[in-house]
């Protein structure tokens, strides 16, 4: 009876706008306005008309898949990610995911994560300021090591590759958290063999490459170009990153073996249903550069007939159809926010009513189902359906209970939220 009541209380915290979306998006928008913009202004790319990129590094593998396959994606695993991410790894593996895409914000850094307190007890309540400062220094020195041990390694133990995007909590220059530090710490995950080395970004101030490794990159799998972007700070997207991104889209536009483009980043692009917690936080750079990326993707969809999907996190809830806004109107790209991998959970904004499906107060991830690749000749080849997979208390206990106490797991499940009830 007690367990049943607990499960009922969990359900009370869920706000669903409608049934879980299984969105298969087939391009059907008129392209004239944005094609003109691409040709004459800074918004949008113009694909090269000479040369043939179809025989590039990705064409040979594009047509190899004849069955559906899966990948998983979520972001924001600070606060309680050490007890949530192992459950995501277990569930994603059981559902056949080939990889997990983390969209940034690994640890809080500005404050001590709740799960860290369970494995590294804090000083006594009446400890001196000096003792507390030393403990904070200890936490910051171990935060990324903790993330690797407790969040990335559970995926590695299950032979699930993790691709990383950088979030704003990975950048804290006052405490030695810069892009260069990020690249050094996570070089292994930024240099997987799948990651494409062309086009190569040009070095520029602020990009902080280390041996030509960047926080933004892309990789191919069965005719899909997965592109990780860096919008973790207010001066992004930089001109250098935009130039690289548009070269990638040029390649995709002329490669018949590329049918689908999935773009992942930490902050949602401007003009989303999470407008107040997105790239719009940076009106001078984030808004114009983010809109440029959006219009580039519209061109890829409307002009070059690629299937396009956009995923982000930053806000700690799940929401689909996030570009169904007055700003984008009849040019809505399929987009999702999924900041549900362990961070303090947020209340949904009033704009959630314009989504198809939105959930607050729960942990989970997006499970993507990819339809057969380019070789099938089907009208749906390369299309992707996304479904939110919710985690329950038992999932966390089963996956993390050997390392973390029952008390901290229950506290993470019940109290790690900023939602009035």
Give yes or no for residue 13 having a pLDDT over 60: no
Inform me whether the pLDDT recorded for 409 exceeds 90: yes
* Average pLDDT in the chain: 82
Assign residue 147 the CATH number of its domain: 3.60.21.10
pLDDT (mean) for 275-295:
88
Q: Which residue has the higher pLDDT, 361 or 211?
A: 361
**Percent of the chain residues topping a pLDDT of 90:** 62
- pLDDT tens-place string over residues 217-245: 999 999 999 999 999 988 899 999 999 99
Q: What was the pLDDT predicted at 388?
A: 98
Domain count, the chain: 1
pLDDT at position 26 is 32
Burial 5-20 (b: 16+ CB within 10 A, else e): eeeeebeeeeeebeeb
- Residue-number span of the structural domain to which 229 is assigned: 2-418
Q: What is the pLDDT of residues 174-192, one digit of tens each?
A: 766 899 999 999 999 999 9
The answer on pLDDT for 159 being more than 60 is yes
> Which tens digit of pLDDT belongs to each residue from 191-205?
999 998 778 776 555
Total-model pTM: 0.82
pLDDT digits (tens, 9 = 90+) for 248-262: 999 999 999 999 999
What is the pLDDT, as a whole number, of residue 251? 95
Q: What is the pLDDT of residue 324?
A: 93
Query: 58-108 pLDDT, tens per residue?
Result: 333 433 456 899 999 999 999 999 999 999 999 999 999 999 999 999 998
- Identify the pLDDT of residue 421: 54
Cα–chain-centroid distance for residue 59?
Answer: 25
pLDDT value, residue 368: 98
């Amino acid at each position: 009876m007690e367990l049943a009541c607990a499960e009922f209380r969990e359900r009370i915290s869920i706000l669903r706008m409608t049934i879980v979306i299984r969105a298969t998006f087939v391009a059907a928008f008129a392209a004239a306005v944005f094609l003109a913009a691409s040709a004459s202004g800074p918004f949008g790319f113009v694909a090269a008309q000479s040369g043939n990129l179809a025989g590039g590094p990705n064409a040979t593998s594009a047509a190899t898949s004849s069955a559906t396959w899966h990948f998983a994606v979520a972001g924001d695993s600070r606060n309680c990610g050490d007890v949530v991410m192992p459950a995501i790894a277990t569930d994603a593996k059981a559902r056949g995911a080939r990889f997990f895409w983390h969209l940034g914000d690994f640890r809080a850094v500005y404050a001590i994560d709740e799960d860290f307190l369970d494995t590294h007890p804090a000083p006594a309540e009446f400890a001196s300021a000096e003792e507390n400062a030393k403990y904070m220094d200890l936490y910051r020195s171990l935060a990324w090591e903790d993330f690797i041990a407790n969040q990335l390694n559970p995926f590695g133990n299950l032979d699930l590759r993790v691709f990383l995007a950088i979030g704003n909590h990975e950048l804290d220059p006052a405490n030695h958290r810069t892009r260069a530090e990020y690249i050094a710490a996570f070089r292994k995950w930024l240099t997987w063999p799948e990651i494409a080395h062309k086009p190569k970004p040009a070095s520029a101030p602020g990009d902080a490459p280390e041996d030509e490794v960047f926080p933004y990159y892309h990789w191919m799998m069965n005719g899909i170009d997965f592109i990780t972007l860096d919008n973790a700070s207010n001066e992004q997207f930089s001109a250098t990153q935009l130039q690289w991104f548009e070269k990638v889209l040029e390649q995709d536009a002329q490669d018949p073996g590329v049918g689908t483009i999935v773009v992942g980043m930490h902050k949602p692009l401007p003009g989303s249903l999470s407008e107040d917690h997105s790239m719009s936080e940076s009106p001078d750079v984030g808004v114009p550069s983010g809109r440029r990326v959006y219009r580039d993707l519209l061109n890829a969809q409307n002009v070059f007939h690629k299937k396009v999907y956009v995923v982000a996190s930053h806000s700690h809830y799940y929401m689909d159809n996030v570009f169904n806004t007055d700003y984008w109107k009849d040019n809505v790209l399929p987009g999702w926010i999924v900041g549900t991998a362990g961070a303090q959970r947020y209340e949904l904004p009033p704009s959630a009513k314009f989504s198809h499906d939105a959930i607050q107060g729960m942990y989970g991830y997006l499970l993507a189902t990819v339809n057969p690749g380019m070789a099938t000749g089907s009208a749906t080849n390369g299309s992707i359906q996304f479904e939110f997979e919710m985690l329950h208390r038992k999932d966390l206990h089963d996956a993390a209970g050997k390392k973390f106490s029952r008390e901290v797991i229950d506290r993470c499940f019940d109290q790690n939220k900023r939602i009035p009830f």
